[in-house]
Amino acid sequence: MNARVHHRLGAAMRGLVMLALLACCGFRPAWAADPAAGAGTQHESREKATIRAVLADPVFGGERTEYDWRYTSATPDKAPDAAETPSWLDGLRDAIEYLSRALRLLVYFALALLLAVLIYLTYRHRDAWFGPLKGRTAPPSFLFGLDVRPESLPDDVAAAALAELSRGSASGALSLLYRAALVSLIHHSQLDFHAGHTEDDCLNLVRAAVDAGRSGYFAELMDAWKRTAYAHEPPPAPALESLCTRWPAHFSLAGDNR
C-alpha cells in the first residue's frame, strides 16, 4: 500500500513539475521576445512538445473512445441528377404557357367589351326595357323636327288628314297623323319620349308599353312617314286612306290612356 501511495505522489509531483515548465514556457516577458521567425517556430515546437507530454500522462491526459446513438437519414445528401428534358418539350411548354396567357387576356377583353355593350344598351333602351317613368322629365315640344305640342293639332285629326290627301299632299297627311300619334302617346299614354330618342327608340318604347294592335298601327304609320319624308316614296292612295280612317281606332286626343 505504501508503494502505491508513493507511486501516486510521484506521479502528482511529475505533473506539477510539467505544469510549472508549461507555465514558464508560455510566459515570456516583452524584453525576451525574439524577432527572428526561426526562433518563434522553435519556441512553438517546444510548447507543443510540452503539451503532448502533459496529455500523455495518465493523471492529466489520455485518450478515450465514446459511443452514442445518432439519427441518420437514409436519403443521400445529394439527389441524383434528373434526366435532361428534351428541348422540343421545353419549347412546347413555353408555347402552351404563352397561349394560355393570350387566351386569358382575350377573355378579359371580351368580358369588358360585353359589359360596356350591356351598359350602353341598358341606357339606350331603358324606357323600352323597364317601362316609362311618369313625371321623370318634361314632355318635349319637338321630336325629329316635328311639332308635338297638343295645341298644334286640329280637333279632328283623321278628317284633316283626309283633307290633305284630297289636295294631293301625302306628306301633309302622314305628318299630321304621325305628329298626332306622338302627342297621344306622350300626353295621354305617358310615354317618356325625349329629344335624345331616335325614331327606332320611340318605336321600341311603344312596343313595350302599349298593346300589339296599337303598336302595330304605329309601326305601319312610322314606316309610311319615313318612306315619304326621306325617300320620297309615298304609299299608294288606298294605303294612305286606310291609315287616315283607322287612326281614331288606335289614338285619340280626348285623354284616353289605352
pLDDT on residue 14: 64
> Is the domain of 160 the same as that of 139?
yes
pLDDT on residue 164: 93
Domain count for the chain, please give it: 2
pLDDT category, 39, cuts 50, 70, 90?
low
> Is the domain of 245 the same as that of 153?
yes
Residues of the chain with pLDDT > 90, as a percent, come to 33
- Does residue 242 belong to any structural domain of this protein? yes
> Is the domain of 110 the same as that of 138?
no
> Is the domain of 98 the same as that of 169?
no
| Boundary of a domain, candidates 104, 124, 144 | 124
> Is the domain of 117 the same as that of 210?
no
75 has pLDDT over 60: no
> Is the domain of 244 the same as that of 179?
yes
Are 180 and 153 in contact, with CB atoms under 8 Å apart? yes
Q: Which amino acid is at 153?
A: L
- Does residue 8 belong to any structural domain of this protein? no
CATH number, domain containing residue 242: 1.20.120
Domain that holds residue 245: 133-250
pLDDT on residue 157: 93
- Does residue 158 belong to any structural domain of this protein? yes
pLDDT digits (tens, 9 = 90+) for 95-148: 898 899 999 999 999 999 999 998 988 876 666 666 555 545 677 888 888 888
pTM above 0.85, yes or no: no
